[in-house]
Homo-oligomer: A and B are copies of this chain.
């Protein structure tokens, strides 16, 4: 009986298990990447609307890079690509950079995004170092 891969996102939409090569470490990382790409996109839009946007240019740039790589990491893992671990290793680096950048700003969206980026970096590191 399979249940391990039926987590978060999927269970909201469809409860049926799917036979898959995706193990719990990978699924946790997919979920973290999906959460992170959304947080980065939202924080990106929010930063663009802030009156001090001028001070947030670097943050905006890193948020975009982070959203893009999380999105692609999610796809690589979902198809169980042989490069998932190397991809997640780079994703962890960019998530760390994004967390550090967002942490500089005191508004809720940046602080929240920093937390989600840190979680995603941790999951990506776990994913990239786990014996598969």
Residues of A within 8 A of B (CB): 7-14, 16, 18-22, 30-32, 34-39, 41-46, 48-49, 53-54, 57, 60-62, 64-65, 67-69, 71-72, 74-76, 78-83, 86-87, 90, 93-94, 97, 108-109, 112-113, 115-116, 119-120
B93 and A86 contacting across the interface, CB-CB below 8 Å: yes
What is the distance, in angstroms, from A121's C-beta to the closest C-beta of chain B? 12
Given A18-B43, A37-B78, 15 more A-B residue pairs with CB atoms under 8 Å apart are A7-B12, A8-B11, A10-B39, A13-B31, A13-B35, A14-B35, A14-B116, A18-B112, A19-B108, A41-B78, A48-B61, A61-B81, A69-B72, A69-B87, A86-B93
Question: Contact: A9 with B21, CB < 8 Å?
Answer: no
